A and B are shown apart, each in its own frame.
Chain A
């Protein structure tokens, strides 16, 4: 489904964020990428949504080189990827409903689809009562749940969660992980980055350990090196 082919990212000051990364992601996998801060986890995620470009190598999504796609093709690809960020990235002057509806509008859904799916997906993340709240009226955990709802509402092929629990307390952290596991069970591929070993232990499955821009371990049974 996704393949990173010898991807390197070298900044003008010669520092290497990624150094010859190669790995593949199969459909319906739940992959946790673990590593300390600065290991290159977020840069890797940015490559996948073309928010950043590799210096060498290529990233393929179903045989298409992501960084060679035209603008319109890139927009279509991004609609197939649900993104969840550490800093939530909700649109501040839109309510929870509107933030989620926006992703559906951008994907060309009809008004009736939006009206039925948005409340449903908010119920799924247990935020049915906060449907008309603005981001500043929500707690960190609630904001992240809205962000997850926004990511899944268009039924993407893959969810990319970049340190989604980085700003949350332990209770909310495990709530969010449970939601992501639930989404995975419904058939969506999940790619999660974290530096929290507790989360890795909780999830298990395939774990990729990164250090200084390189993959130092790729294990299918939840083992990592930190």
Chain B
């Protein structure tokens, strides 16, 4: 009996979805717009994360060592710094490496290279480039380096300079701006989701309002609430599935054409500036397709089904 009921409810839901073509189409469009908001938030947060990561990557602090600092002492310090929980990455640039990089950079400028030769000795100090996990953690790392942790085995200071103070302003600003941007983004996202849910719910409520007489007739012939509500919920699920598919197609198209769109709107120079952010959408879409599919389809189906379920409820009190 339960199977027969389920079969009849499903069949009626499909038939109603098909026969109320215009209303179903309207529901799909509104639900697609709502899911589009979800998609925009997913892409927006991916873009925001990529942007913040990019900015964070550009910030580091450099520790320059005195010219006579022994390499084992520097490597010991590197090891100590690496073991700090707030440190993400430490890169060691030896004096020879620094010289080679300088020569490579200015290989076309004979004047500079000649000047370098005249100095005779290698004037470049060894350095450690340190990246913290969060911009706010640089102050702690700088304090650590300023303390006695940077002494050699014989007790002399091997650190010539830590450029934290030069970068302090931008690091501090980033430390304040990034959490604020993330917090504001979350609040805006939450508001957009609430608006999308309310619009969807009201649209489906209006659609079901047109069936209120039908629902009262069903009640009067003795149909149970589940039997009346079921087909509406099935139609709601159908709205969700169709709008989910439509939204995914639109998101895929956007992800695919996003580079061309960025290029078109930002121009050649802008595109060059954005070069590190190119392919963010397309690669994010491909890498996280399973997750995006689950979020969009799941949200569509749940929104459609719950909206229908709740909207029918008020007309069942006959």
Residue from B4, B214, B222, B224 in contact with A91 in the complex, judged by beta carbons closer than 8 Å: B214
A76 near B222: Cβ-Cβ < 8 Å: yes
Is A13 in contact with chain B by the CB < 8 A criterion? no
Number of chain B interface residues as a range: 20 to 34
A105 within 8 A of B: yes
In the complex, chain B residues whose CB is within 8 Å of the CB of A111: 4
A44 CB, min distance to chain B CBs, angstroms: 16
Let me know if B20 is at the binding interface, CB within 8 A.
yes
Is the pair B220, A75 in contact by a Cβ cutoff of 8 Å?
A: no
Number of residues from A at the complex interface, CB < 8 A: 24
Residues of A within 8 A of B20 (CB): 93
Within 8 A of A (CB), among B1-40: 1, 4, 8, 16, 19-20
- Taking CB atoms, residues of chain B closer than 8 Å to A181 are none
Identify which of residues 56-103 in chain A touch chain B, using a CB-to-CB cut-off of 8 Å: 71-72, 75-79, 83, 89-93, 102-103
Q: Are B217 and A106 in contact (CB under 8 A)?
A: no
Residues of A within 8 A of B223 (CB): 75, 102, 105-106
- Contacts of A107 on B, CB cut-off 8 Å? 222
Q: List residues of chain B with CB within 8 A of the CB of A92.
A: 214
Chain B, residues 268-288, CB within 8 Å of chain A (1/0): the string is 000000000000000000000
Inter-chain residue pair count (beta carbon < 8 A): 51
Provide the bound-state CA to CA distance between A92 and B213, in Å.
10
A75 to B217, Cβ gap below 8 A? no
Residues of chain A within 8 A (CB-CB) of B213 are: 89
Q: Decide: A102 and B222 in contact? CB cutoff 8 A.
A: no
**B19 contacts A78, CB within 8 Å?**
no
* CB of B174 closer than 8 Å to a CB of A: no
Assess whether A150 is in contact with B220, with CB atoms less than 8 Å apart: no
Complex Cα gap A107–B223 (Å): 7
Is B318 interfacial (CB-CB < 8 Å)?
A: yes
B153: interface (CB < 8 Å): no
Most-contacted residue by chain B among A75, A83, A90 (CB, 10 A): A75
CB distance from B215 to the nearest CB of A (A): 9
Interface pair A106/B220, CB less than 8 Å apart: no
Q: A92-B214, A93-B19, A105-B8 are in contact. Are A79 and B222 (CB under 8 A)?
A: yes
Return chain A residues, CB-CB under 8 Å to B225: 71
Interface residue? A207 (CB, 8 A) = no
> Is there a chain B Cβ closer than 8 Å to A27's Cβ?
no
A169 contacts chain B at the CB level, 8 A cutoff = no
Known interface pairs A89-B213, A93-B16, A108-B1. Does A83 touch B224 (Cβ–Cβ under 8 Å)? no
Please, which residues of chain B bring their CB within 8 A of the CB of A71? 225
A51 to B318, CA, bound (A): 6
In the assembled complex, B46 has its CB within 8 A of some CB on chain A: no
Whether, in the assembled complex, B169 has its beta carbon less than 8 Å from a beta carbon of chain A, the answer is no
B8 and chain A: residue at smallest CB distance:
A105
Are A75 and B222 in contact, with the CB atoms below 8 A? yes
Q: Which of B4, B214, B216, B218 is within 8 Å of A106, CB to CB?
A: B218
CA distance A90 to B221 in the complex (A): 11
Q: Smallest distance from the beta carbon of B95 to chain A beta carbons, Å?
A: 84
Q: Which residues of B contact A21 (CB under 8 A)?
A: none
Interface flag for A49 (CB, 8 Å): yes
Specify which chain B residues have a CB less than 8 angstroms from the CB of A78 in the assembled complex. Answer: 219-222
A53 vs B224: C-alpha distance when bound (angstroms): 20
Given contacts A91-B214, A93-B20, contact A83 B220 (CB under 8 A): yes
Contact indicator A102/B1 (Cβ below 8 Å): no
CB distance from A118 to the nearest CB of B (A): 14
Instruction: Tell which of B1, B4, B8, B221 touches A83, judged by Cβ atoms closer than 8 Å.
Output: B221
Taking the nearest CB of chain A, how far is it from the CB of B27, in angstroms? 15
Known: A51-B318, A93-B16. A79 touches B214 (CB 8 A): no
Minimum Cβ distance to chain A for residue B1 (Å): 7
Q: Which residues of B lie under 8 Å from residue A49 when comparing CB positions?
A: 220
Residue B209 is within 8 A (CB to CB) of chain A in the complex: no
Query: What string of 1s and 0s marks CB contacts (under 8 Å) between B191-226 and chain A?
Result: 000000000000000000000011011111111110
**Quick check: B218 and A102 within 8 Å, CB to CB?**
yes
Name the residue of chain A whose CB is nearest to the CB of B316: A71
- Minimum CB–CB distance for A191 against chain B, Å: 15
A105–B222 CA distance with the chains assembled, in angstroms: 10
A153: nearest chain-B partner, CB-CB: B221
Which partner residue on chain B sits nearest A151 by CB separation? B221
Q: At the interface, yes or no: B254 with Cβ under 8 Å from chain A?
A: no
Please judge, given known A-B contacts A89-B217, A150-B221, whether A106 and B16 are in contact too, CB under 8 Å. no
Q: Is the CB of B318 within 8 A of A106?
A: no
Residues in B neighbouring A150, C-beta threshold 8 A = 221
Q: Which residues of A contact B221 (CB under 8 A)?
A: 78-79, 83, 102-103, 106, 150
Give 6 pairs: A residue, B residue, CB < 8 Å, sorted on A. A75-B223, A79-B221, A89-B216, A106-B221, A106-B224, A106-B227
Q: Which 6 A-B pairs have the closest CB atoms?
A: A78-B222, A79-B222, A106-B223, A103-B221, A93-B19, A89-B217
Given contacts A89-B220, A105-B227, A106-B224, 7 further A-B contacts (CB under 8 A): A75-B222, A76-B222, A77-B222, A78-B221, A79-B222, A93-B20, A102-B221
